[in-house]
Amino acid sequence: MTTDLLQRPALSLRLKQETADQHERMHQLMAQGDPFSSRTSYGRFVAAQYLFQRDVEHLFHDPAVQAAVADLHVRGRQEASLADLADLGVEAPQEAIASARVAMPAALGWLYVSEGSTLGAAFLFKDAQAKLGLSAEFGARNLAAYPEGRAVVWRRFVGSLDHEQITPDDHDAIIAGANAAYDRFGALLTRFFQLG
């Protein structure tokens, strides 16, 4: 291994730094969409979340993804989103899986965006409770913490990202995967909030 490889920052740090603009764009889209102004508006957010979670969980079936992230069984919010849509009386949208051609290592970037979004979801969950009267049992399951707690599950995911089995040669493709996942979620929010 060369010195150059040793000096590269951890993948998790690169992901955070190099997709910061995308994260900021999510804030802007959420502010514009204003999902906590009414249950109708929030239902549009959950529809976008459901389709995104379908795309992400589709990747869970790939043995290479399973090898990279050992605890996939505790992750993903597709079912929670679907149950929330039913609570809200919103029909589940149907469309083709957007990640059908995504494979490792880019798949890890998609998982990064989904898993990271569970951190910001802590704030969204509070709004859903306070402003819309929803809960982890009704309407806001998709924003609730995983049973083990948000921080524990997130730190374990970061451990998978920064594990030695993910080689530096894969990092650029993983960051590209994260950008593609942000693009997908951004496009879904734009469409469902009718911002375009």
Binding mask 126-165 for ligand HEM (x = CB under 6 A): ----------------------------------------
**Is 23 a binder of ligand HEM (CB under 6 A)?**
yes
Quote the CA–CA distance of 58 and 171 in Å, as a whole number.
Answer: 21
How many other C-beta atoms lie within 10 A of the C-beta of residue 22? Answer: 16
Cis? peptide before 105, omega within 30° of 0: yes
Using CB under 6 A as the binding rule, the residues of this chain from 29 to 48 that contact ligand HEM are 30
**Is 120 a binder of ligand HEM (CB under 6 A)?**
yes
Nearer to ligand HEM, 4 or 80 (CB): 80
Residues 102, 111, 113, 128: which binds ligand HEM (CB under 6 A)?
Answer: 113
**Is 116 a binder of ligand HEM (CB under 6 A)?**
yes
How many other C-beta atoms lie within 10 A of the C-beta of residue 11? Answer: 24
Quote the CA–CA distance of 56 and 81 in Å, as a whole number.
Answer: 13
Residues 11, 14, 15, 171: which binds ligand HEM (CB under 6 A)?
Answer: 15
Residues 53, 117, 142, 179: which binds ligand HEM (CB under 6 A)?
Answer: 117
Nearer to ligand HEM, 93 or 120 (CB): 120
Task: Give me the amino acid identity at 35.
Answer: P
Candidate segments 61-69, 86-94, 119-127, 162-170, binder of ligand HEM by CB under 6 A: 119-127
Closest CA to 15 of 5, 23, 3: 23
Nearer to ligand HEM, 83 or 111 (CB): 111
Phi, then psi, of 135 in degrees rounded to 5: -155, 180
Q: Judged by CB under 6 A, how many residues of this single chain contact ligand HEM?
A: 15
**Range list of H helices, the chain:** 3-7, 11-18, 20-33, 39-58, 63-68, 78-88, 106-132, 150-161, 168-192
Judged by the rule CB under 6 A, the positions of this chain that interact with ligand HEM are 15-16, 23, 26-27, 30, 112-113, 116-117, 119-120, 123-124, 185
